Amino acid sequence: MEHHRKALHVPHQFVIFAGTANPELAIAIAAEVGVVPGACTIERFPDGETSIQLQESVRQKEVFLVQPLSPPANEHLVELLAMADACRRAAAARITAVVPYLGYARSDKRHGRREPIMGRMVADVLEAVGIHHVLTVDLHTSQIEGFFKIPVDTLTAIPRLATYLSKDLPPGVVVVAPDAGALRMASEYAHRLDGRVAVLHKRRESGTGTQVTHLVGDVAGKTCLIVDDMISTGGTLASAIEALLKAGARPELTIAATHGLLVAGARQKIAQEAVKKILITDTVAGAPEDWPPLHIISIAPLIAGALKRLVEHRSLGDLY
């Protein structure tokens, strides 16, 4: 496919570096742009400290650091900070953090008087090491952009996922938001799939557990698509599946989410007979390959399209 790619005309040199969180995605993005990732050595000292060494010059170049803040989030965050600091000290002209999954975005407010707002803290430290721009995909909440003083561009995987889903889902599908926070996302899917929207209201019982209190919308006898920005522990989705089946939904459920974290037994919670397909993107590495219902759509072409526009100083508005 290389010969089909349009030549990239850039005003100055640039380089893409891959962190260890998702090197396969970084390689795919670089291939879409028509380059290879920059050479960089990332190691751990015996005491766990991070060691970074750039193997090529970044002087007066535009640098893109591809590193989702996926589990282990703390380790990947420190690695991103170290990469950015190395680039800044090596006189990079501009540093863009390509963070397909922005960890800590769920910590966007305090629930008590003695809690941190980790989303804001992450924004502060990214700026402190000299990052000029952040590129991410489907933030958990849009107000996270306001935590940054530097430019933030948020891409969305919804068009790519909806295009894939349109091949299998019938018109009139009920797109279900598993909580009120996912309602806008559900509305966008419904618009693209010619469907209707239902929303589940829930009560959080712990950091990992929720309980559905009621359902707004008619799902009886209907094909349902459950959408969310991420699948973490699977607790929210498990509650949604149970509530929809109790309400009479057809036992042919589809789940779509941008970020497939799939931690802490998530597979066991959502691997139910009624779930026929689970669709995620490759923003996060490590999705199981031996799970037939799971389908992974690459986000690399979308991010590569954004990078091309950035280095050419063009708007991202025509990406979708």
Q: Hey, which residues does 188 pair with through a beta bridge?
A: none
Measure CA 216 to chain center.
Answer: 27
189, containing H or E segment: helix 183-193
Q: Are 80 and 99 in contact (CB under 8 A)?
A: yes
Tally of residues, the chain: 320
Residue 158: name the closest of 189, 124, 127, 129 by CA: 189
Q: CA angle 141-279-221, nearest 5°?
A: 95
**1: which 2 tokens?**
């496919």
Give counts: helices (H), strands (E), the chain: 8, 14
Task: Reply yes or no on whether 202 is catalytic.
Answer: yes
d(CA 176, CA 185): 10
Which is the catalytic residue, given 61, 202, 222, 308?
A: 202
Catalytic residue numbers read 202
